[in-house]
A and B are shown apart, each in its own frame.
Chain A
Amino acid sequence: MGLLDFLTNYFNALFRKKKNIKLGLYGPPNAGKSTLANKICKDWIGEEMSTVSNIAHETREIIIKEQISIKSKDGKKELMFNLVDTPGIATKIDYEDFIKAGLKSAQAKKRAKEATKGVVDAIKWLDEMDAVVVVLDSTQDPLTQVNITILGNLQARNIPVLVVGNKTDLKKADIKKIESAFPQYDIVGISAKYGGNIEHFYDALFKVVA
């Protein structure tokens, strides 16, 4: 074994031994972070962790599922982490948008208030993360300032990142658009809802976190 291999193994082992690795799911609202969180949890511990909805800002507080253990395809590698599902990051929240989505005024105002606090918490939690999966909606324009700011902040904090283009089951999905917007990242196209390409996602996760 060469010195480089020894050092690589040593530091890998050191990182793996770190307890409570936090893997964050970040992204704009309604990109499918909670759907992906549920898919991961169902695949590996047999239960869901978050509620999902078509109305934006369904997740309004940090939700953590501890001690999730996933195995590589050949069963030789194991990855253990605490999964942190975060509220979608937005620059604006208007309760009237929730009324348009079908909520009553009081419910809409409450949701807006909780959603603003959720965004603040999600940003504060950035410093706590050991690795992050940025979940983007592959049917939407990826070059939004929110996406650029999230990725820029993760880069500034030297946090390993995996970018996921979700909703590939939809006709409008365009993974190439995400690839050309963020060429410096590995992009994995998935359908968290139906499990499309999820094996590829787990492989990529091992490369980023392990």
Chain B
Amino acid sequence: MPLTLQFVPFSDIEPLGSARRVKKLIDIVKENKIVLLEGRLKKEEEADLIQIAMEEINNKFKGIELAVIEGKHKQESFVSNIRSGVLNMLLGDRQGFTIIGPASVIKEIKKDPNKIELFTKETRKSK
């Protein structure tokens, strides 16, 4: 079965409250799809995402793999940090990406500043 990567633009979750944002993302992951979310959730929403994932665990759904890719470089100037802080306050944190995948499919997500590696679970060969 091919892996499905579903892109979720930030505008899709922007009008939603925290609980509905998290539910929307979990619902996609429970369909065995990998979510590629533009931007990132709030810190509290990340914790909520883990909490909801735990509550949803059953024989089929084993939880999630999660990685947030920061969109800004650490050594940005003071002015650009202020600018992005104000934009984040007004528009939400659209910088970077968040990857959320079902743990039954994604074994591990490794990231460094230049690349993201998704290690999938070995699929059993059919005889």
Binding site for B on A (CB under 8 A): 89-94, 112, 116-117, 119-120, 123-124, 126, 143, 145-146, 148-149, 152-153, 155-156
In the bound complex, what is the Cα–Cα distance between A156 and B43 (angstroms)? 7
Q: Which residues of B contact A123 (CB under 8 A)?
A: 47-48, 50-51
In the bound complex, what is the Cα–Cα distance between A146 and B63 (angstroms)? 13
Q: Which residues of B contact A146 (CB under 8 A)?
A: 50
Binding site for A on B (CB under 8 A): 42-44, 46-48, 50-51, 53-55, 57, 62-68, 103-104, 109, 111
Min Cβ gap A125→B in Å is: 11
Q: Is the CB of A126 within 8 A of B47?
A: yes
A-side interface mostly: helix
Min Cβ gap B113→A in Å is: 11
In the bound complex, what is the Cα–Cα distance between A178 and B64 (angstroms)? 24
Q: Is the CB of A91 within 8 A of B47?
A: no
Q: Which residues of A contact B62 (CB under 8 A)?
A: 92-94
Which of these, B44, B54, B66, contacts A145 with CB under 8 Å? B66
Q: Which residues of B contact A155 (CB under 8 A)?
A: 43
In the bound complex, what is the Cα–Cα distance between A119 and B55 (angstroms)? 9
Q: Is the CB of B44 within 8 A of A153?
A: yes
Knowing A89-B50, A149-B47, say if A120 contacts B64 (CB, 8 Å): no
Give me 9 other A-B pairs in contact (C-beta within 8 A), A91-B66, A93-B54, A152-B43 excluded: A91-B53, A92-B62, A116-B54, A119-B51, A145-B66, A146-B50, A148-B68, A155-B43, A156-B42
Q: Is the CB of B63 within 8 A of A149?
A: no
Q: Which residues of B contact A116 (CB under 8 A)?
A: 54-55, 57
In the bound complex, what is the Cα–Cα distance between A91 and B54 (angstroms)? 7
